[in-house]
Structure 1
């Protein structure tokens, strides 16, 4: 074999593995055909032999890049929802009322069967006056859920008094409609400060006076015997607990002195 034919043999040997290599997945420079860096060696041999033709892999890679560029065009398609929902205004019934009192509170109701106070909810306790018919009601909604936990017309003569053992709490009896059915309830409302509790008491009594001028004094204004008994029982339980607490503290002081 002559020295002039030797470059041709090298070129053929370089082209042979390229024909068997798979089409590049990520362009001309990325191939997982197991050839490693053989492609670069073949290109260097071709350059030394004077072969200016581009390798098939490079040509194929150029086509792939053009196709990828065409596929990256911004999608301008618009998709409409299957169901169209219209905005609906929800009425709370408070739009035609003005607030005579509004404060954060915790509301309790007395459970006669269990003979104990049970928490009703935490939220805004409000005394609202209707702008047209002038009727006044108490309304309390649970925080976040806005569920009604107390809702009743303030009747003339209703007494709101300080709850035994706490100057931040007030108790009163009423016919409540929070569960959409009239029910006799004994409520206890607790505020963050004694001043706020006194403001509530004054606002409730003033609302009762205005309702008396509007609808007149009802025949029955006093608490029922059941409500009175429940309130007295709750006061006795709290007084007993306070005495026991004070007795425990006295025993601890005596033991410490000894």
Structure 2
């Protein structure tokens, strides 16, 4: 059946106007209920925030994770600080780890090839399965590089103090 063929049974009247709304009047707007979005940051307080580019060392090379806001977040109950970074536009989590006080983890060192970058090893939970990764963060100014180092070291010391009562309880 050809939809363009004229059919004597379905003739359109002379007064038909395709621009006028018909019986099936479609408004073009849907009403959706407001749904609260959980980010996982509800129980946290922002300590510091930076604009940066994140890299991860994988397959023998540095691979870009994304650009966005890197935050130090302090949990309101445990008082421990974690690092969280979301990619601009998509909001995808590209770094999410506690600043832990453990041998081989969370010790900043400067990337030899870039003076505005810091690298460290962490147990990152930004992917489906948490894994040990080496991360690198790059900033646009030397001031931000120093400010990040200061905040990272403060977080490390804070978490070191917060971890001591746990050891005493064991």
How does 1:132-151 map onto structure 2 within 5 Å? 132-151=77-96
Cα displacement (A) at 1:82: 10
Pick closer, same or farther for the CA change 1:86–1:108 going to 2, 3 Å. same
- Normalised by the size of structure 2, how large is the TM-score? 0.74
Aligned residue number for residue 10 of structure 2: none
Structure 2 unmatched runs, 5+: 1-14, 16-20
Cα displacement (A) at 1:118: 0.7
Q: Pick the structure with more strand per residue.
A: 2
RMSD, aligned α-carbons:
2.8
Aligned residue number for residue 4 of structure 1: none
CA contact (8 A) 1:104 1:122 kept: yes
**Could you tell me how far apart the structure 1 residues matched to 2:165 and 2:62 are?**
30
Cα displacement (A) at 1:132: 2.0
Cα displacement (A) at 1:83: 7.3
Cα displacement (A) at 1:216: 3.0
Structure 1 unmatched runs, 5+: 1-67, 69-74, 219-258
**Could you tell me how far apart the structure 2 residues matched to 1:217 and 1:169 are?**
34
SS of 2:153's partner is helix
Aligned residue number for residue 4 of structure 2: none
Aligned residue number for residue 104 of structure 1: 51
Aligned residue number for residue 128 of structure 1: 73
SS of 2:122's partner is strand
Aligned residue number for residue 117 of structure 2: 169
Cα displacement (A) at 1:145: 0.3
SS of 1:92's partner is coil
**Could you tell me how far apart the structure 1 residues matched to 2:93 and 2:137 are?**
15
Larger radius of gyration: 1
Aligned residue number for residue 98 of structure 2: 153
Pick closer, same or farther for the CA change 1:94–1:165 going to 2, 3 Å. same
**Could you tell me how far apart the structure 2 residues matched to 1:177 and 1:213 are?**
23
- Normalised by the size of structure 1, how large is the TM-score? 0.50
CA contact (8 A) 1:173 1:186 kept: yes
Pick closer, same or farther for the CA change 1:123–1:134 going to 2, 3 Å. same
Q: Pick the structure with more helix per residue.
A: 1
Cα displacement (A) at 1:95: 2.6
- When the two structures are aligned, how many residues end up with a matched partner? 145
